[in-house]
Amino acid sequence: MKKCFSTRIANKAIPLCFVVLLPFYKASAQTKTEDAKMNTYVNGLMSKMTLDEKIGQLNLVTIGAATTGSVVNKGVEEKIKTGAIGGVFGIWGADQVKQIQDLAVKSTRLHIPLIFGLDVIHGHRTIFPIPLGLSASWDMSLIKRSAQIAAKEATAEGLNWVYSPMVDIARDPRWGRISEGSGEDPWYGSQVAKAMVQGYQGSSMKNADAVMACVKHFALYGGAEAGREYNTVDMSRIKMYQDYLPPYKAAVDAGAGSFMSSFNTVDGVPATGNQWLLTDVLRKQWGFKGFVVSDYTAVNEMTAHGLGDLQTVSALALKAGLDMDMVGEGFLTTLKKSLTAGKVTQQEIDLACRRVLEAKYKLGLFDNPYKSIDAVRETKDVLTAENRTEARNITKHSFVLLKNSAQTLPLKKTGSIALVGPLANNQRDMLGTWVVAGDWQKSVSVMQGIKNVVGDGVTINYAKGANITEDSLFIQRLNFFGQQMVTVDPKPADELLKEAVDAAKKSDVIVAVVGESQSMSGESSSRSDIDIPETQKNMLKELAKLGKPLVIVLFNGRPLTLTWEDKHASAILDVWAPGTEAGNAVADVLFGDYNPAGKITATFPRSVGQIPIYYNHKNTGRPYSSGPSKFKSNYLDISNDPLYPFGYGLSYTTFGYSDVKLSKTTLKGSESLTATVTVTNTGKYAGEEVVQLYISDPVASISRSVKELKDFRKISLQPGEQKEVSFTVTPDELKFYNSQLKYDWEPGKFIIQIGTNSSDIHAASVQWDK
């Protein structure tokens, strides 16, 4: 082939095309061969299956404690033996999983293996930062690596399916599950979705250390009204396609094996029974070939939405394109009756069954039902020293320095510090939300981490200072299902506070470790007040009166309102919920062994009254700029601006940006533009900087966002060093969904913006004609 091409055209560039095209051709041919083998196998198996066995494959049950609802399945063992269950979640461990798989493989008529799932959200045994924190690293290689490690550990304990990544765009920090996603931007969220899917699934889902990703929640779940869990979502189609759907599409393009439907309505129809969503968009428009599972009892909950009894809504869900029913058993108990009544067809049942069986085939479970059940791997691949070392590195890359006046940080490894706050000597709350298999007793507290990093060089004067909260009703809600997630110190609040003040008086600097506990964010953890809880803030106010440097180490699962803290603290380091290696990573950053480079991916408001607040908003007919004003789009009592804008994050060093240099100022058609800035490290420390590219389209056929993120580069610079950073812009970066939902670009003026965050930018304009 090479000889043929070089003979026909003497051009050195031609073999490059040949090299690219041939592997694609081979991959395409190989895929077709694999698909043919799979179809033959599944067709043969389904020809032997009874109706009951086909419906059984659509039934997903939980074993053990309820995790996201009050329903737990009963009689699981007998149902497995009769072929009435297709998958199980809520159990892990090689021995336990093997026992359950034995029931399916050895006790059923057709020996069809089960698929085993679990909520592996930000690590399995080795816990990484919550996804919102991971996203703040702006490092796709590290994000992907966290998923690879999670998959390796999960498969070592018998699992082959994880309910992650959550790719919902969220613009309301009151919503607890903002902690589980990657923030507010659809382009950036798409990059994270792709990295996570690739990390979980690897080069082949048949590999022993690969799992099938389950992308959630399809769709628009992050748009819940009032930031209240499970609430209504209502938005235009343009908003869906432009701002909320792209990360799901990116996950499809990355080869995600499964999707999970969301609890909310879409265009008035619950997502779990929404044919436009599950079939027209997901399968027909995007070409998704995997299967769709409901969220926890989401089929049953369609009744509460007002769509009918269990039989009615189960039939609606199947016809819409739902393939597997999680926990509710509506499919199991009603589909046979609905078939007899003509409410569903045999073809619809067969199609759902086929998709579930295909997933098991893609995982290699028909070749080896026990491929991810390995007692040896369970002892050597889980929570290893190597995994913890990688977690420590990934974790410190997720931290965001929100404030650092007078170069308070990094701290010296000498002298004395007052280490105070309810999260300072705390292991449980290091892990954050959604850590089903994580062991908080294996986590590193901030106090222990500081001791590990500085040894005896620093005198630590510790005091708890305050409880997480003193609100008894709030504590009761945080301790759901009888768990003791939050405990109250028996000492009176004023005594705790006095201990903190006394510790601070005899110390050079105060390090206050405060914020949200583990159960204050995540599912069913919406908050109307997103301040630091009052008892902790009271402690901070008393400490601030001492006039000593006050460093806040902030634990949080969402953007918080930090106007007082920003004004009075010397430094604020946002560490989110950092995971297993929390304390070590925090100490690495506090004492300068690593220079923080994280950037927030969700806007921090000044007040809940600004919510929803996000950088890529639309303009109004009466936009507000600055100064006193009336009859403009502004508040009487507060600035429009956020406290910290999207993409914001400081460093122990400083960076200077040149003006934007463009390769052209007028372009036409498919030409490409190169936009360049020179970035200089103007400070005293080596550091990393995330250089961000935004584009504005000021004149279009519909109202556009004021700006949109289109690319970024993460660079490292030594003190005094400078680098040119260039971005290539093509018409693809100019495209948007117009009023006909056509994805295209329109000619005109475009503003190219490059900077350190969405507000601090340098801009240049181009004219781009078609």
Active site residues: 295
Cα distances from 769 to residues 698, 734, 749, in angstroms, run 14, 12, 9
140: exposed, middle or buried (C-beta count within 10 Å: 0-12, 13-18, 19+)? middle
Q: How many CA atoms lie within 13 A of 346 on its CB side?
A: 8
**Helix or strand (DSSP H, E) at 712:** strand 708-717
Which three-class secondary structure state does DSSP give residue 613?
A: coil
The answer for residues whose C-beta is within 8 angstroms of residue 78's C-beta and 6 or more apart is none
SS (H, E, C) 159-218: CCEECCCECCCCCCCCCHHHHHCCCCCHHHHHHHHHHHHHHHHCCCCCCCCCCEEEEEEE
Which three-class secondary structure state does DSSP give residue 111?
A: coil
How far is 688 from 647, CA to CA, in rounded Å? 14
The answer for residues whose C-beta is within 8 angstroms of residue 87's C-beta and 6 or more apart is 59, 60, 61, 114, 115, 116, 117, 161, 324, 356
Q: Are 261 and 318 in contact (CB under 8 A)?
A: no
Q: Are 117 and 162 in contact (CB under 8 A)?
A: yes
How large is the C-alpha radius of gyration of the chain? Answer: 27
The answer for residues whose C-beta is within 8 angstroms of residue 58's C-beta and 6 or more apart is 86, 318, 323, 324, 325, 331, 332, 335, 349, 352, 353, 356
Which two three-digit tokens encode residue 764? 């240049």
Cα distances from 582 to residues 375, 589, 628, in angstroms, run 29, 11, 45
List the beta strands (DSSP E) in 435-525: 459-463, 509-515
Cα distances from 368 to residues 80, 206, 207, 620, in angstroms, run 18, 9, 11, 59
Which two three-digit tokens encode residue 456? 């005896």
H helix intervals, 49-182: 51-56, 76-81, 94-107, 131-135, 140-156
Which three-class secondary structure state does DSSP give residue 748?
A: strand
Preceding amide of 397 cis, omega within 30: no
Cα distances from 559 to residues 132, 222, 512, 755, in angstroms, run 10, 14, 18, 22
> Is the four-CA dihedral 214, 217, 219, 223 of positive or negative sign?
negative
Residue 61's beta-bridge partner residues? 88
How far is 523 from 457, CA to CA, in rounded Å? 41
In degrees and rounded to multiples of 5, residue 503 shows phi and psi of -65, -40
In degrees and rounded to multiples of 5, residue 224 shows phi and psi of -60, 130
